[in-house]
Each structure stands twice: as C-alpha cells, then as structure tokens.
Amino acid sequence: MQAAQEKGEQQMLPSHSDNSGTDHQPLQQRRGSSGSSPAGVCGSAFRRRSNTDSRVPPHLAGRPSVGSNGTKRPSIPEISAYGDVQLGRRRSATYAELGAPVRRRSLAYSDLMAVFYPPNTMSQPTVTEAPFECREWEGVDDKQLEHMAISEPGAVGWEPTLEKAIRSIVSIKAQCVRSFDTETSGTYTATGFVVDADAGLILSNRHVVNPAPIVAQAIFVNYEEVELQPVYRDPIHDFGLFRYAPTSLKFMKPESIRLAPHKAKVGMEIRVVGNDAGEKLSILAGTLARLDRPAPDYGRGEYNDFNTFYLQAASGTSGGSSGSPVLDIYGDAVALNAGGSTKAASSFYLPLSRIVRALELVRRGEHVPRGSIQTEFEHLPYDELRRLGLDMAIETKMRETFPESQGMLTVRTTLPKGPADGSLRAGDIVISVNGKPVIDFVTLEDITDGAVGKELHIGVWRGIKAYDTRIKVQDMHAITPSRFIEIGGGVVNEVSYQIARSYDIPLGGIYVASSGHMLGSASIWRGSVIQSVGNVETRDLDSFALAISKLRDCSRVPVKFFALDQPHKQKMMIMSVATHWHALRLAVRDCGTGFWLYESLKEPMPSSEPLKAQVASGWHLPQSLSPGNIVWPSVVLIDFHIPYLVDGMKSTHFLGPGFIIDKSRGYVVCDRDTVPITVGDVHITIAGSIVLVGKVEFLHPVYNFAIVKYDPLQIGSTPVEDIKFHPEYLSGEKKLEQGDLVHVVAVSGDQNAVLRRTRVSTRAMVSTKECLPPRFRCLNVEGIKLNDQPSCQGGVLCDENGLVTGLWTSVSSQDNNHKDITTMTGFDASILRETVESLRKNDCYPDIRSLDIELWTIRMASARTLGLGPERIQQIASQDGDITRLLYVLGTLTGETPASKLLRTGDIILEKNGKFVRDVDQIGVIHGAESVELVVLRDGEEVKLNVPTTKLDAMETKSVVHWSGALVQEPYRAVQEQIRKLPSLIYVSCTLYGSPANCYGLRPGMWITEVENKPVKTIDEFLATLRQLRDSWNQQTADGGSAEDGGPFQNLKNARYVRLTVVNKNEVTRMLSLRLDNHYWPPWELVCDPNTTSGWDAIHYL
C-alpha cells in the first residue's frame, strides 16, 4: 500500500448516525482512492454506513480526540501519493449533506456518547419495486454464458439479472451500542446480500458486521424485516457474515447470489446494487478498470484493510452502499463494494477469493483459521524492485514462472516486538514461503492461514543478498480483542492489531475506546493507551481489572498513559475514582449468539469507610499582599465532574474557586459556573494540599451562587478561616456604587492568587439569553463591572481591611448563535445574606420564592410615554437618590403558575407591599411571603394586584430515569421558560449513541405524553405503564407466544416495540415506535439520597 493513498480514501461504511448533541458534523467513511498522479492533499475518510444523525457532540463520547468540551475532532488529512482524491468508507449520510460525505463519529461532549441538540433524522433504507423471478439461463455454465455474451449480445440483458438479484439484496440498519476498538457507537444503514439462502447467511463488509456490539436488522425487497446475528468478521479484510432465520421470512424466498471471484476481468461491465446514499435501492453502472489497486487507507486510528488487492471502477458509489454486491451480467458477484472517492467517481471493491474460503468454513460450522506474523506487505512493480536491488536472475525466473504478474511482494512494515520483528525488514523482497515462490497476497495468506502455531520459512532478497528467515505464525483472532470493560461510563479494551498497525506500536496495553466520566476526569480521552493505574501496570484487561479493584471509590490515583498520536510521550494525570455512578463490568463476545455477555467485576472499596484526618500548614500570602493575606485562608479550589448530561449540560468538567463561609460545618460558597447542577462529584482542595470529597448542598435558583459542603473533621487542625463580610454590605445597607474603590482577591487559571486595586465602573442588570439546550441562567439581579478587570476564574471584592463587599464570579450564557460564553461579573454581598444567616443560625436554607417573571429596566422618559402620571413621577422624584429608571416585566418565565397569569409583559412595577420599588433585589427574589401586593402600570393605568408567589426548590432535579438510552427527568425551570405549556412532566434531557432512543427518533427536548396510546403525565405514571407492559409480555412469553424459532434468535424474538406519543417545544406531536433492548440498555433510576457520599443513589430495574 503506498503512502500516497492515505487519507484521501473513504471506506463505504454504512450510513452511520452518531449524534453528538449540538455541534458534531456527520463523518462518513468512504473507501478508495485511485490514480497514480503526484502527491496531493486529500480530504478526510469515511465508511459507507449512512449517517442518520448529526449533532454533539460528544460530548459523551464523542468525546475524540476530544477538545476541552469533550467533542471528537475528525482526522487531519494527510498527503496522498495517489493524487488529489478523497476517499472513505461509504456509510450514507442521510442528515443534511449527502453530497459531502463525511462520517460523523459518536463522541459527545466529554466522550459520553450522548445526543443533545438539534435532533437528527434517520433515513430508512428500502427497495422500491417487487421483481419477478427470472430463470432464463438456469443450467447454463460459465463458458457458455461467456460465449453468449460475446457472440450473441442480445441473448443476455441486465434487466432480468437485476430483477432476480434484488430479491437477495437487503438493506441493513444497525445500532453499534458501544464504542469499541476502531468503532464508535451510533446508528447506521448499509447493504448486504444473501450468499446461502438455506443457512440464512448474508455477506457484507467487516465495518458493517462490526467488531463492536451491534443490534441489526435486514429489510428485504418486500419490506420484510429479519433479525441479524453477526457470525463472522474478518480481523483485517473488509468482509463479514450475518445470519438470519430463514423461517422468519413469510412472504418470499430469496435465492443465493453466487460468488465468482475468478470472473473479474479488466473491462467487465458491472452493476453495483444497494442502499446507495440511503436512497433505498440504487443501481450503479461501471466498468472494472483495475484488479490490483492497493487497499485504500481511511486514516490513522480507523479500521483499514491491508495485505490484499482491491478492484476499481468508476461507479460513483456513496454512503450506505457498504456491502453491496458487484454483479456481472449473469447475476454472479465478482467483488464486494467497500469504499470510494469523495472527489471522484472511483469506487473500490474487495476481491472475493478469501471470502469464498471463509464462507465455506462458516457453512460447515467450523472455525476460520487466520494466521499473522504482524507484518504488512505491499506489491511493487519490477522497476521499483530493481531499485531495491532485486537480482536480474530472480526477476527473470519470476517473470517466466508468473508471466501475467508485473511485480512482487515486499515488506512494508513489521510491528515492534512482533513475530517478524528483527527477522524481516522494510524493503525486503519476498521470494518464497516454505519453499514455494510467492508473488501475490492470496497465495501468501493461504500459506499463513494454514500454518497457525507453526513456523514459516520465508526467503527474501535484501539489498544484494538472499536471506532465509524462520517466523512463528500467530493466531490473528488471538490478537483481535473480543472483550471490553465498561468503567465509569467509558469503554476500554486491549490494544488491537488494527490500532497497533495504525500507529506502529507493539501490542499490549489498555486502549480507551470511550473515556466516559471517570477516565475523562484525568483527560484520558479516546485514542489513549493506559499503561498503569495507581502504580499497577496494566498490560491486559485482567491486570487492569485487578488494578481497579484495589482502589477506593471517591479517591484520586495517578494514571500513566500516552496518546496514540504521541506514543513516545508518556503522561501522568490524577484520576478521580467514581464507580458509584456506573456499573463496572466485563463484556465478552458470544460468537454463538452474536451477543456480548456481561459479568460484574470486583469494584473498588466503598468510600463510606472513615478516613483519617489530614493536616496541612495552611495557605497563606505574605503581609505585603494585604488585603489578600486576610482573605486567602478562606479560599478553596473546587473540581466538579458530571457523569450524565442532564439539566441542559453540554460539558462535564468544571473548575473554580470557593470561599469558606462556615468552617465548623464545612460550608463553601462558589458560583454556578463552577457547580452548575446537583448531579456530580465534588472535590474540594483545602489549604492547597488536602483534597476532600464534597457534596452539593444548595443551588440558588435565581442568583449565581451555590453552596457545597465538606467534612470538617477530615482536615483536623488545618488553619482555615471563615470569610469575613462587611456587615453593612452583607445586610444591603450599602452597595458598591460607580467610582467606589475595591480590592479584587481572586484565583488565576493556574490557581495562584490575583490581587488588583481598582474602581467600580458601572452597575447594570445582568443580561443572559435562553440557552439551547435549556439550562440555568442568572437573571433579575444587578451586576458590577470594574475599570481594570483581572483575568481570573473568580474571587471576591473587599475593602482594604479584607472585609468582603461583593462576589466576583463567572456568569455562563450563550450568544445569538447558541455558542457558550462566560463573562466575569461582580455581585453585591447582600445576595448571600438570607442563605448565610439561615445556615449559621438554623443550619437550613431559606424559603425562596419568585413571581416567575424576567425583569428589565425602562427609562423614565419611556415610562412617561406609556402613561406614567405626573403625581407618580413627583412621588418618584421625592425618593432618596437619583432615580432615572424603573423596572418592568420583560417576559414571564412560565405559563403554568398564578403569578405568570396575573402579570403581563410590559407591566411596570411601581410598588411592592406599599413600598416604592427602586431596586431589582426588592422584587427579583422574595423570601418567605406566599403572596405580595403589587401596583403596576398597565396600558396607561395603575393596577393593584395580589400576586401569589412560587416556591423555588434549591435542589430542583431529584431523580433521573434511564430508559432505552434516553435520560428522562421532570422539566426543570429553564425548560419551562422556553415553552408555553408543559405537555407532560416527562422530559427527555439526553439520548445516548447507539441506543433505541437514538435510533428511532426520541430526541432531547421532547416530552413523552402517551405510551401505547395511554396518556401519561408524570414519570411515576410512565414507569408504571412500562411495568404493566413488561408483565403482560412476560405472561405472553410464559404462554409460549414468543418462542417460535428458538435457538440463537430467542433473545431477538423477545424484542418488543413500544409506541410513544411525543411533543416537542413547538407543540408538534409525533408517534414513535421504539424497539426495546434491555440487554444493552437496561432501565435504571438515579435518585437523590443525602445519606450517600455523592448525594445520589442508583436503582437498577432488572
């Protein structure tokens, strides 16, 4: 394979749907590049599975190489010596841009394999016309057919051939349910064809059958759907076999398409029939132009074929055509469609020689032997071989022995520490194997596959001399992983031959297929290889599982690893052990059923055991840095990691400073850009050296601050101090005004102290926009801006004596394009008063209430225009201070509460409980009062209203339900803000890649309103209805209603569909039908539990 091909090639992957949430673009891998022009820059590669989703990211998983937000980035194009041709595996893109095939990987933000916004649609591959059965040339042998084609051109035509063939060609829709090895989770469509109708065998590509866990169905021409069981996928060549139950077809009997690799010839007219571009049935014509094209390269880290020739024709296939048969005029398959160029019409087909051998063994129920010496060979023409030193006598003999051949095999690479390492070298010319002259891949593989566990005698020409080497043949299946471990929401497996070859590294180590929550806490993203955990070496999955079992939950341990793109640069990071959110289990492929079977692993020790107190000398600044030295003993650092993307989150890691407000109870205040939601792990660094596990205690529903808590007994006598508030500023008697002198004491990005003496430049209402997906935003509060704002993560504003007069925090929002933005803003210390006093006096939180409105300011001149009378203006003028603006209702935050129904957009708030309203803090948050008396200016008249208040919960989300890959919760406040009326209390917050929810169209931002036409309003009703359905189905199964086929398809036959009625925020209603899969996506619920370390407990419904 020549370096020139790399990266311009696309592998025809099935149409791959990897929702990444909000911003991932679909990447389809299409394979193949042609030509021999000088080197040119090529584009990214894709496989031909039709990408049916678009979104995040990612996050998680995809995250990726993963950015700071966890999103996976597409591969960087490389130089290709085969010209300016872009290649890829053809999985057809059905979302957005079918003309620009790029494969979309499924790593969401943080590599959590999750789907966010906007929703993606999935194209259903089908075929359109029901053909008649043609028997025009039954019984005619190949030679007669060839003679007919030459001497009687009208005797055989394409129409009857295609009408017969399409009865045996199927559209495949599949869900890759976990990231594994080179594959990522997601949904895709592709093509296959029946090669043994009696045994129910369907041939397709290896990247369609997939080494990862999948759930797949085939749709025949008459729209009958059958379950598929993966029975074989080749370790390196791009072919695999599915099995279906022939008895499951009730209305047609397909015939087998014969495999005829010997018939492929240059100049042959062919037809490629399949699910091209997700367009149901497509028939593409072409002429075979090459039979000896090097295998296309789809990029580093992707699945790649090697040690084989490919066929080439200009048939212009695209995504979704993976696995299509390449037919001759007699209906025989002469090759298997695999990939093609994104910038030309060239398509690339896998020869069938080795497929015929594997098919026959699978038919007989035998193992398919595959041998390897961990060496990649390439075929070079004789002119290049002469430059490598090939002796003329050897060339003469080879040309005489193989007159049709134009070259010989050479060694391209050998893997370090592999069987051939040290015996073969790059550039060696292969002369013979076991004494037999070898010049092609088929002969070499035939010998190698028959010598597993034995030695090969390989004769090579190196430079000017012949050498004879002896190399032991490995079992290729043994170096192809068939196990993985799910840990902390991520997936790891042993480094495979594919990965090792791609990056030229030795086999061994733990490959991160998906980072998830736990590995992501140490920035160990997809594409990393873990070498040790907690100072225990991890050479394989068994040693990795042992290392994990020795850890303690909620502890922090060192992990050594390297990124595959920098294999010689080892990294060490601190990982937070968090096995309380996700199951820790081992998955093993069962080749008999096609399922991956799970077994639980020994988990780390629970964190409930008491820890010894840790003592540090403290965290101090010199006296010269006053008033920073007064504040600094109260400063802590907070790490917050999110395991599930709920409450509108798109990122999973947050970092910022906090300030101790009660050292005896361990209370710490921080902003809500550091701790945005309640679901997550909190780690608090005290005195710069002690790291403790914390818990989220309080999230203010309006203002931008949160309270977390640590166990003060765990720091012993470590000198820490409560932050000291200026009493007049805490009570609200005084506020920072324009021109006031302040001292900023903050924490920089490298966690050092930042001190700045500056002045207040202005006070103004904080402006934030509704976010997508909906999440908390700060509103109804005034912010403080400074003249010379320091670059930092956050801090406090204080006077020269170190008394705090305000907070300096990070405020998160989005711009008009829904891109995340953060701004540094100061807030009055008085916003903390009610909370701090309640904690210190009663060890509880205040009763927070709201009028469910968003407020903004209006100039007095505009108020006069709207009908503000002279008497009221005179009254306002008599107030202390210069009042130039009033407050008015910018909008209501929900239409469900009494307050939102009484107040209207445009109302100017004049009085509250008989007092003139001059500041937003008088009306933005109300403490304790069940109702308030308001006077508003409405339509030019003053109106008195008694407005009931709405009680706000400081821990808004109290449960999260996982069902069929969807995370469901009650709609939180930010969601209610963006919809006129709630359809139900069953809100889909996130969907996971490769899940039924992802596959069948259940998207984030939808509400479930009916299950099987039964209305459901609450999550409890939703779960109760599902339990009733389950019990009903179990009874049917007990009565024998689902066991007609038995055997390996029993689990598949028990699969059920559930009809859901869903509504989006635009009040558009849809009916969905989801196929349940409790094997890979069992239901569970996460419930708030203050008695646990994290504050949450997982309940699994078996």
Residues serving a catalytic function are: 207, 238, 321
Q: Cβ distance 761 to 968 under 8 Å?
A: no
Cα torsion angle, 178, 522, 696, 600, sign: positive
Around Cβ 686, how many Cβ atoms within 10 Å? Answer: 27
Sign of the Cα pseudo-torsion (519, 520, 522, 525, in order): positive
**Rounded distance, CA 515 to CA 582, Å?**
13
DSSP single-letter state for residue 476: G
Q: Is 632 left (phi over 0), alpha (psi -120 to 50) or beta?
A: alpha
Residue 952 identity: L
CA distance 999 to 1077: 12
d(CA 535, CA 39): 46
Is the CB of residue 113 less than 8 Å from the CB of residue 53?
no
Number of other residues whose CB lies within 10 A of the CB of residue 815: 9
Instruction: State the residue for tokens 């209207």.
Output: 904
Task: List phi, psi (to 5°) of 1024.
Answer: -65, -40
Query: CA angle 171-214-334, nearest 5°?
Result: 45
CA distance 890 to 700: 21
In single-letter form, the type of residue at position 556 comes to R
User: Which residues, in sequence order, are CB contacts of 172 under 8 Å at separation 6+?
Assistant: 14, 125, 189, 190, 191, 192, 202, 204, 208, 216, 217, 218, 219, 228, 242, 275, 323
Longest CA span, the chain: 114
DSSP of 290-347: EEEEEPP---TTS----SSEEEEE-----TT-TT-EEE-TTS-EEEEEEEEESSSS-E
Q: Which long-range contacts (CB under 8 A, 24 or more apart) does 861-867 make?
A: 863/888, 863/908, 863/937, 866/906, 866/908, 866/937, 866/940, 867/937, 867/939, 867/940, 867/941
What distance, in Å, lies between the first and last C-alpha atoms of the chain? 50
Residues in the chain: 1102
Name the H helices within 155-251.
158-165, 206-209
The Cα 41–Cα 81 span in angstroms is: 9
What is the b/e burial string over 192-205, where b = at least 16 CB atoms within 10 angstroms of the residue's CB?
Answer: bbbbbbebbbbbbb
Element (H, E) at 1050: helix 1050-1053
Rounded distance between C-alpha atoms, residue 771 and residue 565, angstroms: 35
Residue/partner pairs of 544-549 with CB below 8 Å, 24 or more apart: 544/485, 544/492, 544/510, 545/485, 545/586, 545/601, 545/602, 548/487, 548/579, 548/584, 548/601, 548/603, 548/604, 549/601, 549/602, 549/603, 549/604
- Spatial separation of the C-alpha atoms in residues 759 and 379, rounded to whole Å: 74
* Sign (positive or negative) of CA dihedral 104, 105, 110, 113: positive
User: How distant is the alpha carbon of residue 414 from its chain centre?
Assistant: 33
Angle between helix 441-449 and 353-363 (nearest 10): 30
53 within 8 A of 186, measured Cβ to Cβ: yes
